[in-house]
Amino acid sequence: MIRRFAWVAFAVVIFVALPSLVASYYVGLVTKMLIFALFAMSLDLMIGYTGLASLGHAAFFGLGGYTVGLLGLRAHVSEWIAFPSGVLVAALGGVVFALLALRARGSYFLMITLALAQVVWGIAFGWRTLTGGDDGLPGIQRPTFFVSLADQNVFYYFVLLFVGLSAALLVALVNSPFGHALKGIRESETRMQALGFNVWRHQFVAFVIAAAFAGLAGSLFVYQNRFVAPNFLHVVMSAEALIMVILGGVGTLLGPAIGAGLIIFLEDFISSMTERWLLILGVIYVATTLFAPRGLIGLYNDYVLGKRKP
């Protein structure tokens, strides 16, 4: 326990001191890593703790982003309303998706979430007068919450604050009685039903919470880029988040965060060296699946801590 707190304290010190240690470009890169770490952790709440594999999680990421973009550019609403509205709309989207998708299980659930997300993507792509179509919505300004977030370092601390608080809430959630119930449902729904748990209600709440955190990540990402487009909602974004979770380690929270940071770094580093960076990333993903099926956290537990399961 003491060692864990020491590592957390060390990480906090590094993240807080980062803007004074590296160039502005890398501050922006780490900001993106933090945002996608939150996105991956929100998906892991569904996959790793509830047992619901989704290919439509980007819908909530994009809903949050489009909400802050549309309210800011089209309605000229205050950022004090637009920013929380992104989370709220994503959560409401999670309610709709959950009511429709939780009727199915396994591959059927996967396909329903994919289909629902593609409907949202199709609306964003086709409703040009509102969303800008495939051109997206450029010119979104970063908000001012007591201080202007236009400066890269100030915005970094803003993102760090929200990602840190969100991570703490997610850790508390998965270690609460509700979180333990989710793990039991993941292992055996019938057994949990026999014990008197309302399985559907637990899955519904977890789905909506995961959608809300994904919407928060999407809102932050739009503010970072000052732009939102239909690709924020696309299945490719959902698949990338899924890969982040698998690469880091399903059902760990820390693993998906590490996986997100690693993938964002590799995309930036490899793409700067070769045009065939997608091929190299594909090889890395396949190698991880073959040689580290439990992700990087599982690999660390197996060969460093010696906790390999028989």
The mean per-residue pLDDT over the stretch 249-255 comes to 88
Is pLDDT of 218 > 80?
Answer: yes
Our measurement of the distance from residue 3's CA atom to the centroid of its chain's CA atoms, rounded to an integer in Å, reads 27
Cα separation, 263 vs 84, in Å, equals 28
The DSSP secondary structure of 234-291, one letter per residue, reads: SHHHHHHHHHHHHHH-TT-SHHHHHHHHHHHHHHHHHHTT-TTHHHHHHHHHHHHHHH
Backbone angles phi, psi at 147, to 5 degrees: -125, 155
What pLDDT does residue 97 have?
94
Q: Of 26-40, 159-173, 200-214, 245-259, which gets the smallest average pLDDT?
A: 245-259
The mean per-residue pLDDT over the stretch 248-274 comes to 87
Cα separation, 89 vs 170, in Å, equals 20
Evaluate whether 140 touches 68 at the Cβ level (below 8 Å).
Answer: yes
The DSSP secondary structure of 100-133, one letter per residue, reads: HHTT--HHHHHHHHHHHHHHHHHHHHH-HHHH-G
Q: Pick left, alpha or beta for residue 146 (phi over 0 → left; psi -120 to 50 → alpha; otherwise beta).
A: left
Reported confidence tier of residue 310, pLDDT bands at 50, 70, 90: very low
Domain ranges in the chain are: 30-233
Residue 217 identity: A
Q: Which of 194, 228, 193 is nearest to 82 (CA)?
A: 228
Enter the pTM of the model.
0.92
Is pLDDT of 61 > 70?
Answer: yes
- Rounded-to-5 percentages of helix, strand, coil across the chain: 75, 5, 20
Select, from the ranges 13-27, 58-72, 288-302, the one with the highest average predicted confidence (pLDDT).
58-72
